[in-house]
Chain A
Amino acid sequence: MKTIQRFAYPIFFAVMAILPHVLDSRWQAVAITFLIFAVVALSQDIILGKCGMFNMGQALFFGLGAYTTAILNNQYGWSIIATIPLAILIPAVCGVLLAGPIVHLRGDYLLVTTIGFNIVFVQVVQNNLGGITGGPNGIFGLDSLSFYGIDLTSQVSVYYFAFAVLLLTLGIMRNLAGSKAGRAMHYLREDQLAAESIGINTRIYKIFAFALGAGIAGLAGTVFAVQYSAVSPEAFDFIQSVLFFSIVIVGGSSVPGVLIGVFVMFVLPEIFREFATWRFFIFGFAMIAAMILRPRGIIPATFGKIPKFLIKENNHGA
C-alpha cells in the first residue's frame, strides 16, 4: 500500500502528460472536461473540505470566471490570455464580497444562502442584465488560445493549458496544507470554538478560503470558455454545484478521492453512453451507498502527522 501511495502521483502525472497523444479528438475533449471539473472540484474542496464551510454554490464562481473571459474576449476584444488575471480576480473579489456577510451563518443556513447566490447568478445571466451576458443562449464564438502571436488552436494545446491549471491547483493545495492558513483552516473545520479560543481569526480564514476557492474556480472557468468556445447559463446551474459538493464529500475531501469522484461523475457517463438516461438514477444510489458504507468518504483526507488514536471519530465538518 505504501509503495502504491508513493508512486501514485508520478504515475498519474506521467499518464496525464502523455494522454492527449494516445487519444482521438473525442476522448481528448473528455479528458479536458475531466481536468476542468477536477480543478473546480478541488477549489470546492478548499472551501468545503478543508475549511468545512457548507458551500453549495461553487458553479457561481466557475461561471463568473467563464463569463469574465467570454465577455472580455467577445465584447471587448481582449485576447484570452489577457483575460486570465481578471477571470481570477473578479470571482475572488466576489467570493470575498458574498462570503463576508454570511460566513458566520451556521452550516445549513450557509448552504442555502450559497445555493441562493448561485440561483441569483444564473437568473441574472439568463435575463441578460446590462446586455452583455447573451441571455439564455449565452455567448459563443470565442477566440482560440494564443500566446504572443503563437497560435494554440489545437485541442492538444488546450489540454496542456488545462493540465497546467490542474498542476497549479494541486501545487496551491499542497502548499496550503503545510502553511499557517492551512492549519488554521483545519482547526477551524474540526472545531470552530476551539480554533477561536486559541487565537485564530476564523472570520478572516473563512473569507480567505472563499476567495482562494473562487479564484481557482474562476481560472477553471477560463479553461472551460476556451474549450467550448462558448458559455451558457445552464453550464453553471445550481445542479452543477450539487455535483461538485457531492464529489468532494463522497471523495472524502482528499485529492485522490476528489479525482476519482470527478472521473466517475463526468468520464464514466461518456464511456457508458447507452445508459445516459439512467445516469443520475444510478449516481443517486451510488451516493447513498457510498455514504452508508464509508461515511467519511471513499478516501478520507488526513491532515499532518496526527496519530490515529487522537483523531475524534464522527467529527467531520459538522
Chain B
Amino acid sequence: MDIFLQQLANGLTIGSMFALVALGYTMVYGVMRLINFAHGDMVAASAFVGLTIYTHVTGQATSLAAVVAIFLLSAVVMAVLGVVLERVAYRPLREAPRLSAVVSALGASLVIQNGIMLIWGPRMRIFPELVPQVYWDFGGVVISLIQVIILVLSLVLMIALYLFVEKTRIGAAIRASSIDQDAARLMGINVNSIIALIFIIGSSLGAVGGLFIGLYYRGITFNMGWQYGLYAFVAAIIGGIGNIPGAMLGGMLLGLFNAFIAGYVSSTWADAFTFILLIVILIIRPTGILGERVAEKV
C-alpha cells in the first residue's frame, strides 16, 4: 500500500508536467493539424534558459521574487521563440502538403536541440535548487514541497487555460479556428493572430513544464526534449489530440501509469509499456479517450 500511495503522489507530479507540455501539442494540433515536433525541444530549451537567467540575471538568488522572475522571464523568452518558430518554419507551409510541414517541424526540432547543445554544451547540467528541500512523511509516504508546488501550480494553470478557452471571446475564436479555419476567417477571426496566440500560450506553458522538469529531476540535457516531448505527445493522443481537457487527463493518466510501472515493474521498461499502452488505446479507441470521431473529409 505504501508503494501504491508513494507512486500515486509521484505519478500525479510527473503527470502534471506531462499535461502542461501536452497542452502545447494539443493546442497546435487542434488548430493547425500539425505535430509540433519542436515543442519538446522548446521545453528542454526553457530549462536551460531558466538556468542562465538564474546565474546571470537574478544573481543566483532563491528568494520567492527571484523564482517568480525566473518563471516569468523564461515563459516570455519561450513565447517569443514560439512565435518566431511558427513564423519561420510553419507559416510558409500552411498550404503545403501535410508531410512537408512534418519534416519542417522535425528540422526545427533538430535546430533547437542542437542549438542548445552548441550554446550550453553537450554535457548534463545541474538545475539550481530553487525550492527548499522540504519533505513530509505520512507514515512511509514521502511527499516533497516541490511535488506539491508542481501539482498545485499546474492545476491552477490548467484551470485558468480551460476557463480562458471556454469562457472568453478570444477562447471562442480559438475553438472556432480549430473547428474550421476558413469558416472562422469568414466570421472575422484573424486566424494568423490566433495561431500566434496558441504558440504563445503553448510555449509558455511548455516553459513552465521545462522548469518543473529541471526542478524535479535536477539533471538537464540538451536532448531531453525528445524524451519528455514524446511522452507529452503520447499523453495528448491518449486524451484525444486537439482536445484541451483531454491533454490534461491524458497527462495525468500517463504520469500515473509511468509511476506505477516504475514502482511495480521496472523503470527500464517504462518506454516500452508507455507505447504499448498507446498502441492498445489507439487500436481500441483511435481518437483517444475524449477525442470526437471526425468523419474524413472528401
Contacts and interface: CB of A to CB of B under 8 A. Distances in A.
A130 interface: no
A292 B104 contact: yes
A208 interface: no
Given A281-B114, A287-B110, A107 B98 contact: yes
Given A112-B233, A283-B110, A284-B114, A123 B269 contact: yes
A105 B98 contact: no
B279 A246 contact: no
Interface stretch (A70-78, A142-150, A160-168, A309-317): A309-317
Contact of A315 (B89, B97, B233, B271): B97
Contact of B93 (A117, A242, A291, A316): A291
Contacts of A296: 97, 100
B68 to A, nearest CB: 33
Q: Size class of B's contact patch?
A: 35 or more
A314 B88 CA distance: 20
B interface, over-half SS: helix
Interface string A21-50: 000000000000000000000000000100
B275 A314 contact: no
Contacts of A314: 95-97
Interface string B267-298: 01101100110110011001000000000101
A287 B106 contact: yes
Nearest to B112: A284
Interface residues of A, number: 50
Given A105-B282, A281-B118, A291-B103, 9 more contacts: A108-B29, A112-B278, A116-B275, A120-B275, A245-B106, A246-B107, A250-B103, A278-B118, A281-B117
25 contacts: A102-B279, A104-B286, A106-B296, A107-B98, A108-B29, A111-B102, A112-B282, A116-B276, A116-B279, A117-B275, A120-B276, A123-B271, A127-B268, A249-B100, A278-B114, A281-B114, A281-B118, A283-B110, A284-B108, A284-B111, A288-B104, A296-B97, A316-B99, A316-B100, A318-B97
Interface of A: 48, 54, 101-102, 104-109, 111-113, 115-117, 119-120, 123-124, 126-127, 193, 239, 242, 245-246, 249-250, 277-281, 283-288, 290-292, 295-296, 314-318
